[in-house]
Chain A
Amino acid sequence: MHIPDGVLPAGVCAAGYAVTVPITWYSIRRINKQGDPRENIPKASLLTAAFFVVSWIHIPVPPASVHLVLNGLLGAVLGYYAFPAILIGLFFQAVMFQHGGLTTLGVNAIIMGVPALLSYYIFRLRNFRREGGRIKTGIFGFLAGFVAIAVSVSIFVPVLIFFIPSGFDVAAERAAVLTLAVAHVPLMFIEGAFTTVVAVFLHRVRPKLLVAA
């Protein structure tokens, strides 16, 4: 789901940065309003490391292969820290492995970061009206992981199919993008299940860690 350099026109890359900057600013502002930011930085650092590494875990879904993203988990556990954490993780992935790209960093941050924030809002619903128990934590954890991938794919697909440069066979590229999108359906369930397991585990052993910023 990482868009590399040279695939999108310059205008789209610039628009990606133009949207990413205010979202990062808003996230940092919300973090600052919630007391000592250092409180959650260790958690954010470790989950950034997990996000950075996990893109190497490929799951074969014929005819394509997909990799774990964990943006739903980051959103559920980190709250507003998730967006800057994903931005930093994407930066290192692009610089170290050319996984993604520097020109497309803004677009990739939107594709993976915005759904993370959405997952945070979804996961917060477990405490709606009264504090959620283990079952509610599990259900909303699943939804957070599932929805994050679904929304990421929903942003990824139109960005790619509406900006195919001249010279490429548009119909063939659209078909390939849609095939890749369908290959992400199993990943939605996998990430949903993974987020559920982590959320329920944290709820049992260290519930304070789930109180996202």
Chain B
Amino acid sequence: MGNKWKSIIWPVLVVIVALLLPTTVYAHGAHIEYTASTTIEIVATYDTGESMSGAQVVVYAPDDPATPWLTGTCDEEGRFTFSPDTSKPGAWAVQVRLAGHGDIVHIPVGQDAVASGGTGGYTILQIVLMSVCVIWGLAGTALYILRRRA
């Protein structure tokens, strides 16, 4: 009888272990976890096109524009990346400053979010045209008065 039970228990144990093995194998599968967030990258440059490397960055959330939400530093290429709290939709203010030079940009987050944007940024042609207009205005003033005197 004892031998008979042994002959039953061992095959059952082998089957149970065999059934458990695939579970262990499945434990080597891949897992992907994700957190929904929006990452914003800014690039700060001088108007000469030179990167503002090492510039300080302060980020202000829309619900408290007086208290910094995040502070950091631009990398060598003037880049800075951050993930705003998506539960705070609105215009996030990002201020960049280096030696008294800098700018502030308002980045909409939430429903009004846009893929990209920036501040300033005239083309060379626009700058030349505007400069010519101002110079002509000033030179014209000089010529007008010189002509009246003559």
Contacts and interface: CB of A to CB of B under 8 A. Distances in A.
Nearest to A6: B104
A77 B30 CA distance: 77
B103 A4 contact: yes
A177 to B, nearest CB: 5
Contact of A169 (B48, B56, B103, B149): B56
B15 interface: no
Interface stretch (B19-27, B82-90, B92-100, B107-115): B92-100
B48 A58 contact: yes
**Contact residues on A (Cβ < 8 Å of other chain), bracket:** 35 or more
Interface in A1-50: 3-7, 38, 41-43, 45-46, 48-49
Interface string B118-150: 011010000100110011001101110110110
Main secondary structure of the interface of B (DSSP, over half): mixed
A52 B56 contact: no
A209 interface: no
Contact of A97 (B119, B130, B138): B130
Main secondary structure of the interface of A (DSSP, over half): helix
B104 to A, nearest CB: 5
A4 B101 contact: yes
A53 interface: yes
A180 B101 CA distance: 10
A45 B68 contact: no
Contacts of B130: 96-97
Contacts of A5: 104
Given A6-B95, A58-B48, A168 B56 contact: yes
30 contacts: A3-B100, A6-B95, A6-B104, A7-B97, A7-B101, A42-B145, A45-B145, A48-B138, A49-B135, A52-B134, A52-B135, A52-B138, A53-B131, A65-B48, A96-B130, A96-B134, A97-B130, A98-B103, A98-B120, A99-B47, A167-B68, A168-B56, A168-B97, A169-B56, A169-B71, A173-B98, A173-B99, A176-B54, A176-B98, A179-B99
Interface of A: 3-7, 38, 41-43, 45-46, 48-49, 52-53, 56, 58, 64-65, 92, 96-99, 156, 160, 165-169, 172-173, 176-177, 179-180
